Structure 1
Amino acid sequence: MMKKYAPFFYFAACFFLMNSCAKPFDAPPANDTLTLNANTTIRQLKLLHVKNNFERITDDLIVSGIVIANDQSGNWYKQIIIQDETGGITVRMDGNNLFNNYPVGRKIAVKAKGLYLGDYGGVIQLGAGIDNSDPNNPSLIPLPTSLFDKYVLKGSLNNQVIPRLVNINTLSANLQDTLQSTLIQLADVEFAVNELDKTYADAVGKQAANLTIKNCSGNSIILRTSGYADFASNKIPAGNGNLVAVFAIFGTTKQLLIRDTSDVHFQNARCGNSTVSKISIAAVRNSYKGTAYTYQEDKFINGIVISDATAGNISENEVILQEDSNMPGILLQLNTGHGFKMGDSVTVQLNQAMLTKENNIL
């Protein structure tokens, strides 16, 4: 049984880089095992919720799922998202660095008895109670740190959730859309052309940003990024490709959230082979004719970082990219230090960037 509660209601200073990297973290203990089996599904649990209400769960319900998103990059705050074969749900948890104990890929079980269901903008959540400090806008209270181990049991690590390949038109703003809070993939999509000079969010003012993702048929959806995300200041990529994200809604607005920029694989030519197009690093090198050259074309290159500034064998404001192991790479000169690591995939927008040779290095 459950009780319902109605509410009271940003080579040279001109380069723009996009980083696709996975941030390191301390490995959590791997010896935790689940001692409880799920007796209901996430889908069944979510069906107990009515929009704008709060429901206290009084039955001994247990759901199990795999963590698909957490607070590691800063794009989520005090919450993790878990997914089973039937759906996904947000679990509000009043702690920082949750990713240390609840990394993506960890299986967990949630003992739901005594917890509450609610929703934020239509995204169904689990929490510890109801905050009525604002009678006109009640909200879920996150689970206190002291109760984490009582309600959230840690299981095996490195489990995989394969993103479901969907079309933009498949997604809806329905409260009970089974894709809500799950990992999805969109193919052949890109940022709208008017967005291409932007960053993912406002890292200085710590303001979130909504950017438009479009497919080649003109259908669109919002990509929302927190100003606190560690990739907020990164320039968005100009190409086309695949996007992995967690699907959410806010009111009637369908939106996507990425874990970090490794979820964005925009390395192909844009829809209709528009003027913003990819060229090879080899082509960039071949275009050098002995004098400095500033690009005016809307082109971009992709490459993998093969340098390591932390080893001290390269300046902290330099990065070496290589597109193919059989071809020479190119050196990027930045205006500041950076966080790029060996193996990161990087996209460089060339418009207004200067190609030159220093110490016989392009």
Structure 2
Amino acid sequence: MKKLKYLMMAAVCALFASCMGDSYAEPAETGSAPYGNNELTETNVISIAQLKSKFANYIATDYRDGVSYAKVTDDIKIKAIVTSSDVAGNIYQEVALQDATGAIIVSVAQGGQHGPLPIGTEVLVSLKDLYVGNYGKQAQIGVTSVNAAGATTIGRISRAVWDQHYKILSTGNKVEPTEFASGTNATTWDLDTDGGKLGIIRNVSFKSSNSSKVTDTFADANGGAGSVSWTLNEQDGRKVIVYNSNFAKFANSKVPTGKVDIVGIFKRFNNQWEIIIRSLDDIKPAEKVDPFKGLPGKGDGTQANPLDITRALAYAKLNKKDANTYYIKGTISQIDEVSTQYGNARYYLSNDGTTTDQLQVFRGLYLNGDKFTDPSQISVGKKVLILGTLDFYEATSNPQVGRNSKIISIN
């Protein structure tokens, strides 16, 4: 009897498997994404830059000074790539989106966003009936919310509402950070247009935290709700910090002691950049970067291998606002002024001593940084090795060696 019962059960299972076919075991590759609203269509799509421009007044308004949000009443959408991940707990109930024109943060009252929306997912977001505003001047999409002070600000979208406002278009898209800064160089990023982007800051080291309890870890895992911010030795701590949640899985991990490259979401908080790493994989030992790679001319800027004028001109024209000093060799081709009053000189260098393809040395100093005391200390035709910064004077579009360079040798 038992044997007959098992045979009947097997027959029933075989029948159901046959009726359901292959789709019972595997979802169809062409099927809709299991998350979001698959009914959305790619109509009325605008760029993130256009969206931020449309709501610029609200994004720029502190909630304590006025209305810092506005409802989207038009049927408009954005299409962008997910660059954030909450897998390590340092990003909380937020999704960072980026397109070719900029970035914006979506505030969602739901954890585990790395599941349905992993890094590299392309999404279509319908904005109608959502709100655009700011948190600390960082552009943000959300809904209205009342904060602890009783003020109405932009807050988190519920999971149910969010599910109706996005559609997954594709996954696995390559996401590459763009350079925010390197070493002591100031960033060229703009707080208004670049806040929220995925970036990388190179060749920096951790300096100190804002907590007396935290001396060598990213945050305080026993500190409860809150965060710890770290400054960097190479950057102004009033302008750039690394922000870490006490709830991050790596909160009690040791911060590196050497030079590193840091990838993260570079959010704006008022007039400061907050670097928010997604996991410890975002921090790696600093890679040696050749700033002169691909440029014409010769040299690497060291005393043993100084830049020639061709390469120095090409680098200065890039206008990188580089604060590093480089050794440069050339022949004095023109002298505009030697000031014994101020002890500096304005002269030009070229590779061959002619006035073709000259590099201006602006208010340079004499040997070893001493002041000039006599105009005869330099003359056209002299070969010199100098040490100075390379910059680009935008008012006259002139590449130059910045002020206070010094002559290392002259003959």
TM-score by length of 1: 0.60
Q: Is the 8 A contact 1:118 1:126 kept in 2?
A: yes
Secondary structure of the residue that 1:185 maps to in structure 2?
Answer: strand
- Matched with 2:121 is 106
Where structure 2 has 5 or more consecutive residues not aligned to the other structure, the ranges are: 1-28, 63-67, 289-411
1:245 alignment partner in structure 2 = 264
2:218 is aligned with 1:203: no
Corresponding position of 1:57 = 72
Q: CA RMSD in A?
A: 2.9
Aligned residue in 1 for 2:159 = 145
Corresponding position: 1:256 with 2:256: no
1:224 maps to what in 2? 243
| Kept after mapping to 2: 8 A contact 1:214/1:221 | no
Amino-acid identity (%): 26
Distance in 2 separating the partners of 1:149 and 1:255? 28
User: Aligned equivalents of 1:268 and 1:150: distance in 2?
Assistant: 43
CA separation in 1, counterparts of 2:145 and 2:238?
38
Which residue matches 1:352? none
Checking the alignment, whether the CA contact within 8 Å between 2:208 and 2:232 is kept in structure 1 is: no
Residues 141-160 of structure 1: per-residue CA shift (max 9 Å, x gap): 32211122311112211112
Matches of 1:194 and 1:135 in 2, distance apart? 28
Q: 1:193 to 1:123 in 2, by over 3 A?
A: closer
What is the distance in 2 between the residues matched to 1:141 and 1:267? 37
Alignment correspondent of 1:169: 186
Check the 8 A contact 1:41/1:64 in 2, yes or no: yes
Distance in 1 of aligned mates of 2:94 and 2:52: 17
Matched to 1:112, the amino acid is: L
| Between structures 1 and 2, the one with greater helix share | 2
**TM superposition score normalised by structure 2:** 0.53
SS in structure 2 at match of 1:55: strand
Shift of 1:220: 6.9
- CA-to-aligned-CA distance 1:76-112 (integer Å, 9 cap, x gap): 2111111001111111111121111111111111101
Q: What number of residue pairs does the alignment pair up?
A: 238
Contact 2:180/2:189, CA 8 A, preserved across alignment? no
Partner SS, residue 133 of structure 2:
strand
Q: Does the Cα contact within 8 Å between 1:132 and 1:139 map onto a contact in 2?
A: yes
Q: 2: distance between equivalents of 1:224 and 1:157? A: 28
Shift of 1:240: 0.8
TM-superposed CA distance for 1:251, in Å, is: 2.1
TM-aligned CA distance change 1:97 to 1:49, over 3 Å: same
Paired residue secondary structure (2:253):
coil
CA apart distance, 1:266: 2.5
Aligned to 1:121: 136
Larger C-alpha radius of gyration, 1 or 2? 2
Letter in 1 for 2:252: S
Aligned residue for 1:215? 234
Distance 1:218 1:132 in 2: 31
Q: Which amino acid aligns with 2:257?
A: A
Structure-2 change in CA distance of 1:242 and 1:37 (3 Å): farther
Q: Is the 8 A contact 1:173 1:251 kept in 2?
A: no
Q: C-alpha displacement at 1:67, in angstroms? A: 0.6
Change (3 A) 1:201 1:61: same
User: Aligned residue for 2:93?
Assistant: 78
Correspondence for 1:158: 172
Distance 1:240 1:85 in 2: 30
Using a 3 Å threshold, how does the CA distance of structure 1 residues 194 and 205 change in structure 2: closer, same or farther? closer
CA contact (8 A) 2:231 2:237 kept: no
Q: Residue 54 of structure 1 aligns to which amino acid in structure 2?
A: Y
Quote how far apart the aligned CAs of 1:212 are.
1.0
Q: Is the 8 A contact 1:211 1:224 kept in 2?
A: yes
CA distance in 2, matches of 1:194, 1:225: 10
In 2: Cα distance, 1:125 partner to 1:70 partner: 17
